[in-house]
Amino acid sequence: MAQEESKTTSQLQEEIEAASLSAEESLLNRIATKIRRSLELPEILTTTTEEIRAFLNTDRVKIYSFHADESGEVIAESINNHRLPSLLGLRFPADDIPYHARQMFLKARQRVIVDVAAGRKILSQLDCPHTGESLISEDIRYCQVDECHVEYLSTMGVRSSLTVPILHQNQLWGLLVSHHAKPRRYTERELKIVQLLVDQLSIAIAQSDLLFRARNQAEHEATINQISQILHSPINIFKIRQTVLEQAVKVLDASGGRLYITPNGIGESAQVFVCGKQANIPELEETLFWQKIIELDKNKQAEYLNSSILSQSWLLPKPTIKTNFFPKDSSKSIEATNLESPDNKHPVSQIYIITDIYQEPQFKELIPAFKTTGIRSLLIVPLRYHQQCVGCLTIFRNEIETETLWAGRLRKDKRNSRPRRSFQAWRDVRKGQSKEWTQDEIKLGQALGLHLYMAVMQKRVEDTIKHQASHDLLTGLPNRLLFSDRLSLELAHLQQGGKMLAVAFLDLDYFKNINDTLGHATGDQLLQQVAQRLQACLREGDLVARWGGDEFTILLAGVQSAENAVHIVERILHVISAPFNFSGQEFYVKASIGIAFAPYDGEDAETLLKNADAAMYKAKQKGRNNYQVYTPAIGDKALERMVLENNLYKALQRAEFLLHYQPQLDINTGKIVGMEALIRWQSVEKGLIRPDQFIPVAEETGLIFQIGEWVLRTACEQNKLWQQAGLPPIRVAVNLSARQFQQQDLVKTIAKVLHETGLKPEYLEIEITESIAIQDVDFTIAVLHTLRSMGIHISMDDFGIGYSSLWSLKRFPLDKLKIDRLFIHDFISHPKDAAIITAIVDLGHALNLKLIAEGVETAEQLKFLRSINCDGIQGYFFSPPVTAQAATEILNNQTKTLPKLDYLKTDRLA
């Protein structure tokens, strides 16, 4: 009977546990389903608070989100029968959560349980606060609650609380807080479920953030497309520009704006388009303040515009933000997110923002004109490319009244700082504020400015073409004015990802002799025929202009490679060298041509023309009747590089790459334990090309991805062939370049190659350098962990000459360090190198890593390395890099390498 009763009790307990597990699963499924089905974050947050409050059966569950100023706001809440007052929509000062507590929430994912009655709290850390790594088991600590914290919660009517951090993108996004009006304990099961739900919430936040960005991007792209269509519509140009201004004001959520177009230089005066309420200065852009922004070059702007101005470059993947035009006494700041152009030499213009015109000293003289407008903030976009400015877009924002509901009125008492006595809503109304310009709005302003610049320049090119003064009266060719404008426009297109372009400067050789002997009339006829021949040599879209006298300039837009441009120039030389016929007499004329390429030889019209002119004079110095490509201090390397890039594209198709293999030996046994795969390029045109010559070019062009996959596949296939031939299994080492390692699908590519070649992961070794590893330490660690978990071995190549710190080194999941050959080569003549090698070996062994020395070339080097217990060796002392066939022979008969080691061990290493 007792047994049956015990059995019944046990079954009942099992059924209760099963029901409990089922309820937990149901709760998790409901939240996960809500996240999958709903893309709206507020709905998900509200559901989560309701579900968690029902699950915990507490009086209030709230989600507390942090703002940029570190204050918090309750954005979702669930309350049980009004047992505790609602805090929904209330803001809490940043001081309510101490800095240390925030850091522990972030670094350790620390969970806090407070028992107000007992005055105790439980701190549970899920991650190590020092390394950020997840702990195997929670670090639980018990301690007293701070008296202020007790008073803070008591004022709320709370007797027990549970706080769980919500993280997003490695930042503290907010807190999930459960409050109860009575003392309450939380079971391990409850805490586990709540943590799982918070993790689901983090996923929902990431999902919502992604959706928000996608929607924003789609809206901005739609806006830009709409404005682009308006700019290129056939309606009246004045109506076009007025419509674009109105659209810009609308999409930037502004109160008004101005579009100023500078005089075009061929008789058309400046144009001003306005929208919304304006300052009491009709010629606003003619004032000193605006003229300094519009007209001066960047260096002079830097002298004039003080360090309180925020400027924003166009066309950068991550916008360059620099502190300018910010009120000196403002607490607001924007961090520099990308300082790729710290010297302000980016070829396009900058955006300027004044957050409060009444706080900007340089705006002081203009304040009276704005007094009655309500305007508070400005966004100014000069329409400029290099030093060519065609106008300015200015957007106004009116002052606004902000209202914030604070949880209680905070009064600072320096003598005795205590918590607030009440959390009753306190309305904080502030006047004279302005809405901040967001990153998305700044980027949109950049895009609008660029499209306006392009449209204005396009119209100017069209007008200039129609204008008689834009052409040479003698030859009918465009003159230098039109050529410069067209070149500037093509350079602007180039910044948007276009192909390269070439500028050629042509001068007729000894033309003065023709004028002097045959007269100017014959000289003019010759120039006319030269112009006709030049036009006949060009493609559609190219441009030739008479620069002056016997000089012509040629614009070759959208050339695929330097060879394309050179081919056209060679045709020009050939065509001009044909005889000219005047009055039955034949005359022969030659020409000297200089070529400059953008963006390599200059990013603005003046620089390109100057360099092409210099190259033309070099052609004259070399005997005339030839062409020369501009090569500044680097000599002919610019052209060589472009030719190399062109040949590199063909190399993969022609199968010109091959792999050599260099053995890696165990220093104690003398056995080959690995082969390093090293790429070689046997070019049809250039012969054998070293990797250090073509790998950087492959990195820049993106060909490194195809080449890298080919190297990986070929090395794995070869290693598999060695194994199938019955040779002892060894690892094959493959080097990864910086750009290869950063590609998103690297792990997937390696896994695919291993699967398709049939090579087991443990027989593949991936080598990266120190410089690659430290580019993004967290990314490197994540990728290496993934590769290592697959069974792949990881080694750090060229160790000792990079910049990695010991702190970073201990975090990298490595198997091997390769000591750079520079230390091995010099240690005999430089004793300090020997000390460094010894230290590296000791360090590696202390970190449980294998050490292999590269560049071993002498028995003396080998003897030293063995004396300090280095594990492996690689170098010409044993074998240079050899072909796959030669490597196979070495593997088939390893005794060819063993005598060297045996001899050293018995006689010289004793």
Domain ranges of the chain: 30-210, 232-402+421-450, 471-632, 643-908
Give the class (CATH, top level) of 30-210.
Answer: alpha beta
Please answer whether residues 385 and 349 qualify as being in contact, where contact means their C-beta atoms are separated by less than 8 angstroms: yes
Q: How confident is the model at residue 112 (pLDDT cuts 50, 70, 90)?
A: very high
Confidence at residue 425, expressed as pLDDT on a 0 to 100 scale: 61
Confidence at residue 731, expressed as pLDDT on a 0 to 100 scale: 95
Interval 827-836: pLDDT, tens: 777 778 888 8
Look-up: residue for tokens 């062939």?
721
pLDDT of 322 over the 80 cut: no
Q: What is the mean pLDDT of residues 50-76?
A: 90
**CB within 8 Å of 298: residues ≥ 6 apart:** 344, 345, 350
Please answer whether residues 625 and 590 qualify as being in contact, where contact means their C-beta atoms are separated by less than 8 angstroms: yes
The type of residue at 742 is Q
- With H, G, I as helix, E, B as strand and everything else as coil, classify residue 104: helix
Q: What is the mean pLDDT of residues 603-625?
A: 86
Q: How confident is the model at residue 804 (pLDDT cuts 50, 70, 90)?
A: low
Distance CA 864, CA 176 (A): 61
pLDDT of 321 over the 60 cut: no
Q: What is the mean pLDDT of residues 80-96?
A: 86
pLDDT of 715 over the 90 cut: yes
pLDDT of 635 over the 50 cut: no
Fold type of domain 471-632 = Alpha-Beta Plaits (3.30.70)
Look-up: residue for tokens 């070529």?
595
Which range, of 58-72, 333-347, 624-638, averages the lowest pLDDT? 333-347
Inter-axis angle of helices 439-466 and 480-495, nearest 10: 150
pLDDT of 43 over the 90 cut: no
Query: Is this model's pTM higher than 0.85 or not?
Result: no
Confidence at residue 506, expressed as pLDDT on a 0 to 100 scale: 96
**CB within 8 Å of 530: residues ≥ 6 apart:** 508, 552, 576, 589
Please answer whether residues 179 and 84 qualify as being in contact, where contact means their C-beta atoms are separated by less than 8 angstroms: yes
- With H, G, I as helix, E, B as strand and everything else as coil, classify residue 826: helix
3-7, 695-699, 729-733, 797-801, range with greatest mean pLDDT: 729-733
Distance CA 116, CA 149 (A): 9
- Rounded to a whole number of angstroms, the distance between the first and last alpha carbons of the chain is 83
Please answer whether residues 542 and 555 qualify as being in contact, where contact means their C-beta atoms are separated by less than 8 angstroms: yes
* Count of beta carbons in the 10 Å neighbourhood of residue 838: 17
pLDDT of 607 over the 50 cut: yes
Q: What is the mean pLDDT of residues 735-746?
A: 87
- With H, G, I as helix, E, B as strand and everything else as coil, classify residue 40: coil
Long-range contacts of 777-784 (CB under 8 A, 24+ apart): 777/808, 777/811, 779/742, 780/741, 780/812, 781/811, 781/812, 781/813, 783/741, 783/746, 783/747, 784/812, 784/813, 784/814
Confidence at residue 3, expressed as pLDDT on a 0 to 100 scale: 54
Confidence at residue 21, expressed as pLDDT on a 0 to 100 scale: 53
Q: How confident is the model at residue 803 (pLDDT cuts 50, 70, 90)?
A: low
pLDDT of 675 over the 70 cut: yes
Label residue 296 exposed, middle or buried (CB < 10 Å: 0-12, 13-18, 19+).
middle
Distance CA 7, CA 10 (A): 5
DSSP 476: -
Distance CA 22, CA 26 (A): 6
DSSP assignment of 228-262 equals HHHHTSSS-HHHHHHHHHHHHHHHTT-SEEEEEE-
Confidence at residue 424, expressed as pLDDT on a 0 to 100 scale: 58
Confidence at residue 349, expressed as pLDDT on a 0 to 100 scale: 57
- Per CATH, 232-402+421-450 and 471-632 having the same topology is answered no
Query: What is the CATH superfamily name and number for domain 232-402+421-450?
Result: GAF domain (3.30.450.40)
Q: How confident is the model at residue 208 (pLDDT cuts 50, 70, 90)?
A: confident
Confidence at residue 823, expressed as pLDDT on a 0 to 100 scale: 84
Q: Which residues pair with 682 in a beta bridge?
A: 688
More confident residue, 260 or 51: 260
Which range, of 14-23, 115-124, 587-596, 650-659, averages the lowest pLDDT? 14-23
Fold type of domain 643-908 = TIM Barrel (3.20.20)
Q: How confident is the model at residue 417 (pLDDT cuts 50, 70, 90)?
A: low
Write down the number of H helices and E strands in the chain: 28, 33
Q: What is the mean pLDDT of residues 299-322?
A: 36
Q: Where are the alpha helices (DSSP H) in 1-109?
A: 2-37, 41-56, 99-108
Distance CA 618, CA 599 (A): 21
User: How do the residues of the chain divide into helix, strand and coil, expressed in percent and rounded to 5?
Assistant: 45, 25, 30
Q: For residue 111, give both structure tokens.
A: 């969970």
Confidence at residue 364, expressed as pLDDT on a 0 to 100 scale: 87
Interval 366-397: pLDDT, tens: 989 998 888 999 999 988 877 778 899 999 99
Burial 448-477 (b: 16+ CB within 10 A, else e): bbbbbbbbbbebbbebbeebeebbbeebeb
Distance CA 125, CA 111 (A): 6
Query: What is the residue-averaged pLDDT of the chain?
Result: 82
Q: How confident is the model at residue 806 (pLDDT cuts 50, 70, 90)?
A: confident
More confident residue, 265 or 726: 726
Q: For residue 509, give both structure tokens.
A: 């050789």
pLDDT of 512 over the 90 cut: no
More confident residue, 5 or 146: 146
* Count of beta carbons in the 10 Å neighbourhood of residue 577: 12
Distance CA 92, CA 812 (A): 41
Interval 751-765: pLDDT, tens: 999 999 999 999 999
- With H, G, I as helix, E, B as strand and everything else as coil, classify residue 573: helix
pLDDT of 11 over the 60 cut: no
Confidence at residue 790, expressed as pLDDT on a 0 to 100 scale: 94
Q: What is the mean pLDDT of residues 430-442?
A: 84
What is the percent of the chain with per-residue pLDDT over 70, rounded to a whole number?
83
Q: Using alpha carbons only, what angle is made at residue 513 by residues 510 and 516, rounded to the nearest 5 degrees?
A: 150
pLDDT of 426 over the 80 cut: no
